[in-house]
Amino acid sequence: MDQNEKNFVRVTVSGMARDPRDNAVVLLKSSEGEDVLPIWIGHAEGMAIDLSLKGEKFERPLTHDLLKSVIDSLGATVTRVAITELINNTFFARLYLQRGDDVIVIDARPSDSVALALKVDAPIFVARDVFMSHKRALETDSAPGSDPDDEIRRYLRDLDPGEF
């Protein structure tokens, strides 16, 4: 990233889940261990992320497809996305675009940032202090052949979005 790279944790999308209230939750897994950062997101963004994870496409362009097309048309590329802070139970993120020698930083919602990162295969980072303060360990007491989605559902059953 830059001289502050040590202040960020690289993450991947380990999956999508629904909490007991049917809210979409994206799980961001650290490259440094098994911990995940759950982020509650909107249904539309959850659907877009889920489709990307499954390698499927919607019949019409979604917002993230449109944003990718606009960025491409402007001759820019998404170099990374970063979830930078959590204020009053709301996560904040930034998109980093490169066009020639110019770096353009755009304020964005984490759900849109993650969906776009999946579309363009850009790395995703989370501020280390945010990740460390709000990470959760997934219990991996599963039996061979068990469904990983069931493990995630069990994990989310007792979580409350207000904790974040």
Domain ranges of the chain: 5-159
Q: How confident is the model at residue 36 (pLDDT cuts 50, 70, 90)?
A: very high
Mean confidence (pLDDT) of the chain: 85
**CATH classification (class only), 5-159:** alpha beta
Do the Cβ atoms of 126 and 35 come closer than 8 Å? no
Q: Which long-range contacts does 96-105 make (Cβ < 8 Å, 24+ apart)?
A: 97/71, 99/74, 99/75, 100/75, 103/79, 104/76
Express each pLDDT in 54-106 by its tens digit: 988 888 888 888 999 999 999 999 999 999 999 998 999 999 999 999 999 99
3 state SS of 159: coil
Average pLDDT over residues 130-136: 91
Beta bridge partners of 30: 11
**What pTM did the predictor assign?**
0.82
Strand 124-127 with 77-87, pairing: parallel
Strand 102-108 with 8-18, pairing: unpaired
